[in-house]
Every structure is written in structure tokens, then in C-alpha cells.
Amino acid sequence: MVRLGFIIGFIALIGVLLSGLAAYRVHDQELTLDGIAMARAIDVHASLVQDRLTERELLARVASGLFHAPSVIKADMLQPLRASIYAFKTDFVVASWIARLKPNELDAARAELMKAGFPDPTIRSYNDSPRDTRSLTQPIDVVMDVEPRNDKTMAFPGRSLDQNPILGTMFTQAMAGGKPVASDPVSLMRPDGAVGLVLAAPVQQDDGNSPAGFVTFSYELAPLMLTNDDLSLFSVVLKDPRSANSELIANDQGIVASRIANPEGPAPSATRTVTFGGRDWSLSYYAKTNAVKRAAQTAAIVAAIGLALTGIICGLFGYVAYNNLRLSREIQVRIGFERRLTAVIDELNHRVKNILAVIQSIVTRTLRHGADIDVARELLIGRIHAMSNVVSLLSESQWQGVKLKGLFEARAIPHAERIAVSGPDISVSARAAQSLSLLFFELASHSDEGLSLVGKHPHIVAHWEVTGEAPEATFHFRWEEFNTSAATRREDTDFGVILLDRVAPEALGGTSQRYFTDVSYVYELTAPMETVIDMTERDRTEQFKAPVKRVR
């Protein structure tokens, strides 16, 4: 009996030790997994919020940049911008043109508002009360146009906003800095309306001394914060810049309310800072569950199971060993997934930044000072459409490259039906596709300028070939417009010259030349196939697509 009791006690001791070890491992692993999941979710959320805010600030910069020598006394200033601002799909509540008017311009402004059909063309205060304009000595900021125009917004034109305690300060900062500025949180549309932000971008006059006015976009705060539903791991609050002790939080219906921060309450799990309108905004994240308590409960369950199975040492050992191995594999797989997801996000951010940099260069070069606004708008839309088309093609191929002939489709470049295309149907890399798409659009967009020497549109031949053997293979491209001369063909724009002579050749690591023959205009591009195809980029994208392998 003594020996049996000793064996039973030894088995019980082993069971207790193994149960305690399993409980500790489970507790530690649950905490680790919860921490990784929470940190990853917060980083992704903050990155998405920053991307959304960047899109809206870019819209304000583009909108203000599209104005050219504006006449402030107009009630239809947003008319040329309507297609562009809706193309961004940034779900703004209302866009406004705020003109900075001198006292002697107010009568003309009233007449313009009455002519535009606004219900109350008189110059009023921001709260719709009458304003004595005869005593004014300084310029004031007056709403002259709104988008969209509906029953709620038609009452806004004619209001002066320089006395508004929030918007007036915003206009002063935007005028001083010369760049978009975001306001403090403010009620939109009406005093008890949804809480949101207003972004004001100054529009400079030709003399550059003072702004002619401001383009403003208002956004509800809840969509900007990307508030989460009941299934999210955390709740998001925005530190109220108007009060150090206040926070703004949105409920499940997207209604934003202010609350007093409790210094004795739980601290936020993490804090992230995003930038919008020249200001830093602080987002605090509060975990919805107590990770320590949940991990302790899980560990207690494991310990209870272990103690209940101490009499069956083989079963207990097998269970603990299998459970630990399964948990270790899950952790390794999750860690591998997180690393790959981080790499994918970094790669995506890199590509998006490159695309945004190209678009910014296109906008800057196209809308240069002195450019014809109608011609510049058409070129800008066409160039951005060319970029959009090549990104769509790359998305369809999962960024594995684009067939070169696909860049000559009618949806990609104008007058594609007049182009005779010949050459091997090779796949070019994402970077080469973006440069070649802009290059083909720039060449094609000039092919219809003027008639040929015989009274017909030029006949165009686009031909390419690959010579030599890898790794010394060379890509040759030739564009030739027959029945075209220097007298009938419009000169290339500044942007076109830079693209044809420098950007495209440098992007492909090659050289280019353009010249006129007796009967044609010729553009030639030569580059090594190693940069045109770029297998390194393709292999890297292929690695991101590969499934995560389980550790054996």
C-alpha cells in the first residue's frame, strides 16, 4: 500500500506540475496573441485613417490649384470643379467658395448672388443675423457658392464667416500659412448638426500678396475616425483640441459626442497621431476586453483539465504535448502572417506614394502658371485617366506586369484606331508600364493637332522589337507619324518634353530621341530588357501572393 500510495502521489505530483506548466504557457501565449492582434489592428486602423485624411487634404490642394486668376465676385466658381471634386469620392458634406471681399465689392456681390438665384442675397453674419456693411473698413470672408446646391445649402451664400469664432480663426491661419488648414470640431449645417471638421485651402491671386478667397470642404467626424462596430477589438476616441480633458467618441450610429476623460479610469491601450490640415490629431484606443482576465480564465480552465486527468498520465502527457505544439504552430503561423502582411502594406504604401508622386507631378506640370485652363483640364483628365487605366491593368494581373499591346487600347490612349501596332507581345513591369502608358498618351494626344500635308489625319505606326540575348537583350521602340511636319504638328508641352526626353528614358534606364523626317515625325526609345521586364519586382510580388506555410 505504501508503494502504491507513493506511486499515486508521484503521479499526482507530475500531474500538478504539468497542469501548472500548461496553465502558465497558455496564459503567456494568450497575452502575447492578444497583444499582437491589438497592436496590428491599431496600426492598420491608424494607417487607414491617415490615408483617408491625406485623400481629403489632396482634394483641397487640387481644388485650390485648379483656380486660375479667379474673380472673387462670382457665384459659380465651383462649376468648373464639380467633376473633379466628385471624382475623388471623399464624401464631403458641403464644398464652398469663400470670397475675400473688400467693402466696395459687397454691392456687386449682392447683385451676383441675386442673379445666381440664391434665396437671400444680402450680406449677413455667420448666424444669419443682419450685418452693418457700411461701417466695414477691412475685407470680409463671404460665402459665394456651395456644392451641392439643395434646400439646406442654398441659404448659406451671403453669410460672412470672418466673425465665426472657429472658422474665422481657421481662415486667418490658412491665409498666414498659404496652405490648407483644418478647423476645430464644429457642428455642421446647423447648430445641433453632426460634429465634423472644415478644411480651408487658400486660393492665391495672381499678385500672390493675399488670397482671393478659400475653397472649403466639410466632413463629418465619425467617417474620418473610421469608428468600429461591436465586433472590433477596441473603441476609438479623438482628443478634443478645444479642451485638454475632453474626448470625442462616436457610437454605433455614427453620432459623435463629447465626454470628460476620467483620469482614474483605464489608460488607453495605445495612442496614435495623424496629420490633417496642418495639425496633429491624437487618436486613443481603448481595448473592449480585459486581456489579462481572459488569459487567466483560459489558464484556469487548462489547469482544471490537467488536474482532472492526473490519473491518466499518458492521456495527460499526450494532451499537454499536443496542445503546446498546436499553440506553438499557431503562434508561428500568425507571426509569419503578420510579417508578410507588414511587407505587403509597406510595398503597397510604396507603390501608392509613387503613384501619388506621379499624379502630383502631372498636376503641377499641367496646371503651370499661365496655362489655358480648358486645355490644361483636358490634358490633366487624360493623363490621370492614363494612370488610372494602367493601375487597373496591373490590378487585374495582381501587379505581375502588363502586356505591352494592352497599353494601346482605345480606353488607354486617344485615337487608338489610327495607330498600327506591331511587335512581340511582351509583358513589362509595373514601373515600366506606368512610364510607357504616360509616354503613349503624350504621343497620341498630339497626333490630332492640325491636318496633314494632304488634308488627312496623320497615319501612325508604333513598332517595337527585342534584339540580342539575355542578359544583354535590348528593347527598341519607334513611333512614327507619317504625313506630318514641324509646321503642322503642335509643339510638345513642357511636361511632354520632360516626359519624352528625360522621365521615360531614365525610368527604363535607356535613351531617346525625337526628330522630323521629310514626311514624318519620329520618336525612338532604346532601353535594356532587364529594366523593361524587371524580374526582381515580379518575383517580389509573387512572394507576397504565396500562402503562409505551416511550420512542421
DSSP per-residue letters across 9-61? HHHHHHHHHHHHHHHHHHHHHHHHHHHHHHHHHHHHHHHHHHHHHHHHHHHHH
CA 136 to chain CA centroid, nearest Å:
42
Kindly report, residue by residue over 59-111, the tens digit of the pLDDT: 888 888 777 655 668 888 888 778 777 877 778 899 999 999 888 888 888 99
Question: What is the per-residue pLDDT for 525?
Answer: 92
Residues 287 and 374 in one domain: no
Residues 246 and 368 in one domain: no
Range 496-519 average pLDDT: 86
Kindly report, residue by residue over 116-163, the tens digit of the pLDDT: 889 999 999 988 888 888 888 899 999 999 988 888 889 899 999 988
Residues 301 and 363 in one domain: no
Question: What is the per-residue pLDDT for 316?
Answer: 52
Q: State pTM to two decimals.
A: 0.51
- Non-local CB neighbours of 27 within 8 Å, separated by 6+ positions: 295, 296, 298, 299
**Which pairing describes strands 279-287 and 270-276: parallel, antiparallel, or unpaired?**
antiparallel
Question: What is the per-residue pLDDT for 551?
Answer: 42
Place of cell 463629447: 258
Kindly report, residue by residue over 216-256, the tens digit of the pLDDT: 999 988 888 776 666 677 888 888 888 888 888 887 777 88
Q: Does residue 142 belong to any structural domain of this protein?
A: yes
Mean of the per-residue pLDDT values for the chain?
79
Question: What is the per-residue pLDDT for 36?
Answer: 87
Q: Which of 288, 311, 334 is the last residue of a domain?
A: 311
Residues 282 and 376 in one domain: no
Question: What is the per-residue pLDDT for 249?
Answer: 87
Angle at 516 between CA 512 and CA 519, to 5 degrees: 135
> Which among 445, 478, 474, 473 is positioned nearest to 463, based on CA atoms?
478
Q: Compare 344 and 189 and report the one with higher pLDDT.
A: 189
Residues 43 and 175 in one domain: yes
Structural domain total, the chain: 2
Q: Does residue 73 belong to any structural domain of this protein?
A: yes
Q: Does residue 322 belong to any structural domain of this protein?
A: no
Q: Does residue 337 belong to any structural domain of this protein?
A: no
Q: Does residue 439 belong to any structural domain of this protein?
A: yes
Question: What is the per-residue pLDDT for 538?
Answer: 59
186 three-state secondary structure: strand
Q: Does residue 194 belong to any structural domain of this protein?
A: yes
> Which among 458, 456, 476 is positioned nearest to 419, based on CA atoms?
458
Cell of 27: 496564459
Question: What is the per-residue pLDDT for 317?
Answer: 46
Classify residue 2 as exposed, middle or buried by CB count within 10 Å of its CB (0-12, 13-18, 19+).
exposed
Residues 405 and 294 in one domain: no
Range 469-491 average pLDDT: 84
Residues 292 and 405 in one domain: no
Classify residue 346 as exposed, middle or buried by CB count within 10 Å of its CB (0-12, 13-18, 19+).
exposed
Residue 201's domain comprises 10-311
- Non-local CB neighbours of 453 within 8 Å, separated by 6+ positions: 483, 484, 485, 488, 519
Q: Does residue 325 belong to any structural domain of this protein?
A: no
* CATH number of the domain bearing residue 367: 3.30.565.10
Torsion of CA 297, 299, 301, 305, to 10 degrees: -170
Residues 381 and 481 in one domain: yes
Cell of 299: 489558464
Kindly report, residue by residue over 11-31, the tens digit of the pLDDT: 778 877 887 888 788 778 888
- Write the CA distances from 347 to 63, 186, 332, 543, 544, integer angstroms: 29, 37, 22, 12, 10
The rounded distance, in Å, linking the Cα atoms of 369 and 362 is: 14
Kindly report, residue by residue over 387-398, the tens digit of the pLDDT: 777 777 777 766
HSE (CB half, 13 Å, CA atoms) of 406? 17
* CATH number of the domain bearing residue 237: 3.30.450.350
Kindly report, residue by residue over 404-455, the tens digit of the pLDDT: 888 887 666 777 788 889 999 888 887 788 888 888 888 887 766 544 444 4
Residues 526 and 383 in one domain: yes
The rounded distance, in Å, linking the Cα atoms of 261 and 264 is: 9
Q: Which of 311, 340, 373 is the last residue of a domain?
A: 311
CB 356 within 8 A of CB 58: yes
Q: Does residue 3 belong to any structural domain of this protein?
A: no
Q: Compare 86 and 356 and report the one with higher pLDDT.
A: 86
Residues 289 and 362 in one domain: no
Residues 294 and 397 in one domain: no
The model's confidence at residue 210, banded by pLDDT at 50, 70 and 90, is: confident
Residue 205's φ and ψ, nearest 5 degrees, are -80, 170
Q: Which of 284, 311, 338 is the last residue of a domain?
A: 311
398 three-state secondary structure: coil
Residues 271 and 382 in one domain: no
Which range, of 4-8, 113-117, 125-129, averages the lowest pLDDT?
4-8
